Amino acid sequence: MKVGEMRYLWLLLGTCGWVLLILTLATKYVDLRAINDYGRMIHNHHWVVSSMRQISLSSSESALRLSLDPSTVERWGTLVERRNQLISTVCKDSQIRNLTHVAIKKSVLDRIYVSDKNKILYCQIPKLANTQWKKILMVLNGAYPDVKKIPDKIANDQKKNGLIRLSSFSSQDITTRLHTYFKFFIVRNPFERLMASFNDKFVKNPKFEPWYRHDIAPAPLAKTLNSKLDNAIANAGLQFQHFARYLGDVGNRKRLDQQFGDHIVDWMTYAELCAPCEINYNVVGHYETLQKDAPYILRAAGISKLVSFPAIHPAITRFNKTRMQDLFSGVRKEDIRNLYARFQGDFRLFAYPRPDFLMMSDDQA
Ligand SMILES: *[C@@H]1O[C@H](CO)[C@@H](O)[C@H](O)[C@H]1NC(C)=O
Ligand SMILES: *[C@@H]1O[C@H](CO)[C@@H](O)[C@H](O)[C@H]1NC(C)=O
């Protein structure tokens, strides 16, 4: 090779190096911006969902197939880490301690499903893709070859799904699993979850659980009737405004909740159900971004090669402000404030901002 050619080659190599360096720096800058947006958002209490959408903007339709490219995995990992930091910060806030801390009692251990084979613990919360996660655990257990082959009815039947609860182990085995297994659960905007629970139990009742309407609904309704609501409303059945007033009323609720027993899991707080201040969960996924969180969880748990999460269209999971405004338009501001006070722990632990747009002005004098 001639000297001239050598020089040319070195020049070319140098140029490539520079281009690479600039590209790397540019990528880092973009990453940092995405992360900063999230950090700012936690402090300023903007809707988490909108900022997360920024992060997912770059991803194509293939995100719907629920696979993540490596750079998304990395960024999502940073986001999950920030969420976890927020949880531990809020857990230390003594002002809302009674809303965030619960003992790891049997009712909590009952909610946690175990996969010993893959060392996974999943704390189930009704309606937040709960059935899908149960199916995934069933496939991992080897009972079924594919998530699609499992009927919902079987997955939701405690006697038939074959899933093991953490409460069935000895206390030492429980402790070992809590310390060494991969742990996760899913949350959603607490008010959207109440909305979904209300629809599921008192409006559509698709699972044929008539006791909600017959046994549980009359109690909050009777309570509101005492405060000058007339029979016309009684005839129309339980409305969301009655449900909201009932949930926000701490004293009355305690008494009735006990009477209703297990049936109230749909409106217990995430803190009460899964004890996130006591149990160090690896990932708390958000329903609003399930398209990213679900595949991230599968990867983080080391099972992405064994199972996949079915595609869910973002329109189903995304936060809808209009829908919430519509639903709460009939609820007294005072009741909304009480309701927020009651669910404040969940809002703050999981970075859901205070829904001021619902509480702004007083229409009631
Ligand atoms: C939690 O404690 C605060 C006072 O520190 C009290 O106002 C609130 O009612 C309590 N909430 C519950 C659910 O016990
Ligand atoms: C939000 O909810 C409203 C009322 O239920 C509905 O009309 C609208 O289409 C929803 N918007 C989106 C973006 O899903």
pLDDT of residue 38: 35
Alpha-carbon distances, residue 342 vs 212, 298, 362 (angstroms): 22, 32, 19
- Ligand nearest, relative to CA of residue 247: 1
pLDDT of residue 360: 77
Q: pLDDT digits over 192-214, tens only?
A: 999 999 988 888 766 677 777 77
pTM for the model stands at: 0.78
**What one-letter code names the amino acid at 71?**
S
Instruction: Report the 3 state secondary structure along 322-357.
Output: HHHHHHHCCCCHHHHHHHHHHHHHHHHHCCCCCCHH
Pocket of ligand 2 (CB under 6 A): 315, 320, 322-323, 326
- Residue 342 CA: nearest ligand 1 atom is 13
pLDDT of residue 23: 57
Pocket probe for ligand 1: among 94, 95, 99, the residue whose CB has the most ligand atoms within 8 Å is 99
**Is the pLDDT at 60 greater than 50, yes or no?**
no
The neighbour count for residue 258, using CB atoms within 10 Å, is: 9
Question: Contact at 8 Å (CB) between 282 and 180?
Answer: no
What's the gap in Å between 335 CA and the centre of ligand 1?
16
| Protein residue with its CA nearest to atom 9 in ligand 1 | 250
pLDDT of residue 288: 93
Structure tokens at 15: 């140029």
Query: Strand 182-187 to strand 283-286: parallel, antiparallel, or no bridges (unpaired)?
Result: parallel
What's the gap in Å between 108 CA and the centre of ligand 2?
34
CA distance 341 to 324: 18
- Ligand nearest, relative to CA of residue 318: 2
Q: Is 62 in the pocket of ligand 1 (CB under 6 A)?
A: no
What's the gap in Å between 349 CA and the centre of ligand 1?
16
pLDDT of residue 32: 37
pLDDT of residue 75: 87
| Protein residue with its CA nearest to atom 7 in ligand 1 | 341
**Is the pLDDT at 34 greater than 70, yes or no?**
no
| Out of 7-11, 111-115, 147-151, 164-168, least confident range | 7-11
Chain CA centroid to CA 233, Å: 33
pLDDT of residue 105: 93
Interval 52-78 mean pLDDT: 55
- Residue 315 CA: nearest ligand 2 atom is 14
What's the gap in Å between 98 CA and the centre of ligand 1?
6
What's the gap in Å between 320 CA and the centre of ligand 2?
6
pLDDT of residue 338: 93
> Who has greater pLDDT, 51 or 191?
191
CA distance 36 to 100: 26
pLDDT of residue 212: 79
pLDDT of residue 57: 31
What's the gap in Å between 195 CA and the centre of ligand 2?
14
**Is the pLDDT at 18 greater than 90, yes or no?**
no
Q: Is 97 in the pocket of ligand 1 (CB under 6 A)?
A: no
What's the gap in Å between 337 CA and the centre of ligand 1?
13
**Is the pLDDT at 40 greater than 90, yes or no?**
no
pLDDT of residue 256: 75
Q: Is 98 in the pocket of ligand 1 (CB under 6 A)?
A: yes
CA distance 239 to 345: 25
Interval 355-362 mean pLDDT: 79
pLDDT of residue 192: 94
- Ligand nearest, relative to CA of residue 316: 2
**What one-letter code names the amino acid at 309?**
F
pLDDT class for 20, splitting at 50, 70, 90? low
- Residue 321 CA: nearest ligand 2 atom is 1
Q: pLDDT digits over 270-319, tens only?
A: 999 999 999 999 999 999 999 999 999 999 999 998 998 888 888 889 99
Interval 235-254 mean pLDDT: 81
- Ligand nearest, relative to CA of residue 315: 2
CA distance 122 to 303: 13
Q: Is 250 in the pocket of ligand 1 (CB under 6 A)?
A: yes
Question: Contact at 8 Å (CB) between 164 and 113?
Answer: yes
pLDDT of residue 209: 76
Q: pLDDT digits over 121-164, tens only?
A: 999 998 898 999 999 999 999 989 989 899 999 998 888 999 99
pLDDT class for 238, splitting at 50, 70, 90? confident
Q: 230-250 b/e with 16+ CB inside 10 Å = b?
A: eeeeeeeebbbbbbbbbbbbe
